[in-house]
Each structure stands twice: as C-alpha cells, then as structure tokens.
Amino acid sequence: MKLLLSLLLWINFAGTPDLATIRKMYPNVTKSDSNAKEFSAKMADISDNDDKILVAYKAASILLDSNYQKKLTNKIARFKEGAKLLESTIKSEPNNIEIRMIRLSIQENVPRITGYKKNIKEDQKYITTHYAEQNGALKDYLKDFILQSKSFSEKEKQFVK
C-alpha cells in the first residue's frame, strides 16, 4: 500500500513542471519554433486547479501556440482560449505581479488587430509600483523582463538596475 501511494505521489509531482524551470524557459519561447513547442509541451498537463502562476504560463503557451496554427479559425480559437484563461487567472489573483508580467509580455507582442493590448499601462504601473516589495529571485526575474520590455521608460529601467 505504501509503495502504491508513493508511486502515485511521484507520478503526480513528476508531471508538474517547477516554476524555476518555467521562468528559465519563458524568455526564450519566441526565439525558435522548437523552444515554443517545448514550452507548450511542458505546460500541457497544467490544469486550472494548479498554482495560478503556472496556469498563467499555460495561458501564455496557448496564446503562443495560436501562432503555429495553419487555419485562421484555429488561430483565432486558440488565441481566444489563451486570452480567456489568462484573464480568468488574473481575475482570481489580481495582485500577483508575475501573472501581470506574463500578461504584459503577451500584450506587448500581439498584433494590434487582436484587440488584446488594453492592459499594458495598468500592468506596467502595477509592476513598477510593487517591484521593490518582491523577493530576490522574483525581483531578478522581473528586472530582466523590465530591462528588455518596450513598456517601461528609460527612467523606470534605471530604477531597477
């Protein structure tokens, strides 16, 4: 019985990617098709009941996957699915700075025609306001994002250096 319980727990934890790995992968997902596919595969088993930060990364992977759909209807459907998941995740944790960073990173890079660029200023302001409150690892991750982001001014970028 103990063996069976141990095996089930191992399978459950082995399938869920750890946040450090995901954070390491995320900045590079748009650099190649293989990076994007690897990221999407890693996020595929995340459910809506998992850690909300992982759910937000899954939403980003769905939005990214929409780029690789051949049919326009499939592109639109995947995009809407990812955006809806990301928005519901933010609604459940509106004060989570990392989830807002994920949304900002998506909205900075989607075409204007999608209409999904409406929260850029709000998220940029939230990140700027709450950056100093974060712990070391998350602060470093946010800093790397801010320094490469188009949404932050040079003055804001100097603030995080």
pTM: 0.88
Provide the greatest CA pair distance for the chain: 60
On whether residue 102 sits in a domain, the answer given is yes
What's the total number of domains in the chain?
A: 1
- Identify the pLDDT of residue 12: 44
**Residue 85: inside a domain:** yes
In a domain, 3, yes or no: no
> Which residue blocks in 26-135 are alpha helix, DSSP H?
33-43, 52-65, 72-92, 97-109, 120-130
pLDDT tens digits, 116-141:
999 999 999 999 999 999 998 999 99
In angstroms, how far is CA 152 from the centroid of its own chain? 18
**Structural domain for 98, as ranges:** 18-160
Look at residue 126 and tell me if it is in a domain.
Answer: yes
9 lies in a domain?
no
Asked, for residue 8, whether it belongs to a domain, the answer is: no
Asked whether residue 7 is assigned to any structural domain, the reply reads no
Q: What is the pLDDT of residues 77-105, one digit of tens each?
A: 999 999 999 999 999 999 999 999 999 99
Neighbours of 1 (CB within 10 A): 5
